[in-house]
């Protein structure tokens, strides 16, 4: 069971530490202080995860069981790799039998059992390269992609929503029947067309915000469960067109 860290942080490090002013800007100092005093950051170090984001995936899975039975997983926007660490563990992926493919335009340190592509997911070659890397049909596509922020909330929302939409269409093209799709989005409204597309292709579509996602953050996650399958989807569309 994934529980939020409370009370003792189990690392021996005191919470509430301050950063000396020095030459740091006030905003930078506040960010560092928040980071070093974040119990999820400390717990990630204790448990060997590369980032606190690991607990977002674990908490979502605890409630929605998206990792259960997954045999192959594709991780989009994977750096620094904490979701890929979990994916490799649940799929029993190894360097001899790769079952997890990860992609990010940022460099990632190697991970056992993970084929890492340093490439922009929007590159036209990326989808085929991911499918070749994962070695079969994935049961789960996860995306923690977010566009670099500009400071303009509406622009940042639109850019990240575009990544979410591209990831969703990719998932529909590659997932095994019964598979799941999870992607980061931002509060401010998910595009109606995207939600409609997902509802046509998956049995359940919901928004989730795990406890480990900072309360002040505008991030949420869009979860689509139970992919209906491409043949079923095409038949459904045909049936709809045949209806008077």
Question: Does 36 have pLDDT greater than 60?
Answer: no
The pLDDT, as a whole number, for residue 151 is 74
Question: Does 194 have pLDDT greater than 70?
Answer: yes
Are the C-beta atoms of residues 191 and 237 closer than 8 Å to each other?
A: no
Mean pLDDT along residues 214-220: 72
- 110 vs 237: which has the higher pLDDT: 110
Catalytic residue, candidates 184, 199, 209, 225: 184
pLDDT 10s digits, 47-56: 888 888 999 9
**Has 199 been annotated as catalytic?**
no
SS (H, E, C) 179-215: CEEEEEEECCCCCHHHHHHHHHHEEEEEEECCCCCCC
Question: Does 6 have pLDDT greater than 50?
Answer: no
The pLDDT, as a whole number, for residue 28 is 45
The pLDDT, as a whole number, for residue 160 is 82
pLDDT 10s digits, 112-158: 999 999 999 999 999 999 999 999 999 999 999 988 777 777 777 78
pLDDT confidence band for 70 (50 / 70 / 90): very high
Q: Which residue has tokens 């998932």?
A: 171
The pLDDT, as a whole number, for residue 192 is 85
pLDDT confidence band for 214 (50 / 70 / 90): low
Mean pLDDT along residues 231-236: 53
Highest mean pLDDT among 74-78, 143-147, 159-163: 74-78
Nearest of 223, 174, 143, 176 to residue 69 by alpha carbon:
176
Mean pLDDT along residues 182-195: 81
Specify whether domain 51-235 bears CATH 3.40.50.150.
yes
The pLDDT, as a whole number, for residue 203 is 97
What ranges do the domains of the chain cover? 51-235
Question: Does 1 have pLDDT greater than 70?
Answer: no
pLDDT confidence band for 88 (50 / 70 / 90): very high
Give this prediction's pTM. 0.79
pLDDT confidence band for 215 (50 / 70 / 90): low
Give the whole-number percent of the chain exceeding pLDDT 70.
Answer: 74
DSSP string, 107-156: -----TTEEEEES-TTSTTHHHHHHHHHTS--SEEEE---PPP-S-HHHH
């Amino acid at each position: 069971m994934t529980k939020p860290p409370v009370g003792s942080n189990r690392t021996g490090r005191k919470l509430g530490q301050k950063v000396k002013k020095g030459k740091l800007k006030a905003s930078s100092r506040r960010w560092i202080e928040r980071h070093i005093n974040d119990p999820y950051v400390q717990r990630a170090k204790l448990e060997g995860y590369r980032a606190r984001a690991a607990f977002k995936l674990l908490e979502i899975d605890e409630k929605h069981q998206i990792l259960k039975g997954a045999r192959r997983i594709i991780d989009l926007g994977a750096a620094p790799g904490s979701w890929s660490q979990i994916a490799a563990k649940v799929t029993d992926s190894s360097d001899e039998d790769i079952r997890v493919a990860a992609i990010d335009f940022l460099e990632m340190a190697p991970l056992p059992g993970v084929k890492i592509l340093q490439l922009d997911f929007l590159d036209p070659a990326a989808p085929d390269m991911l499918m070749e890397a994962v070695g079969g049909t994935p049961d789960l596509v996860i995306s923690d992609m977010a566009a670099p922020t500009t400071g303009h909330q509406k622009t940042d929302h639109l850019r990240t929503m575009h990544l979410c939409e591209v990831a969703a269409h990719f998932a529909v093209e590659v997932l095994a029947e019964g598979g799941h799709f999870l992607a980061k989005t931002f509060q401010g409204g998910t595009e109606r067309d995207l939600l409609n597309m997902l509802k046509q292709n998956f049995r359940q579509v919901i928004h989730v915000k795990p406890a480990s996602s900072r309360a002040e953050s505008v991030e949420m996650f869009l979860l689509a469960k139970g992919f209906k399958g491409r043949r079923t989807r095409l038949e459904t569309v045909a049936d709809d067109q045949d209806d008077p």
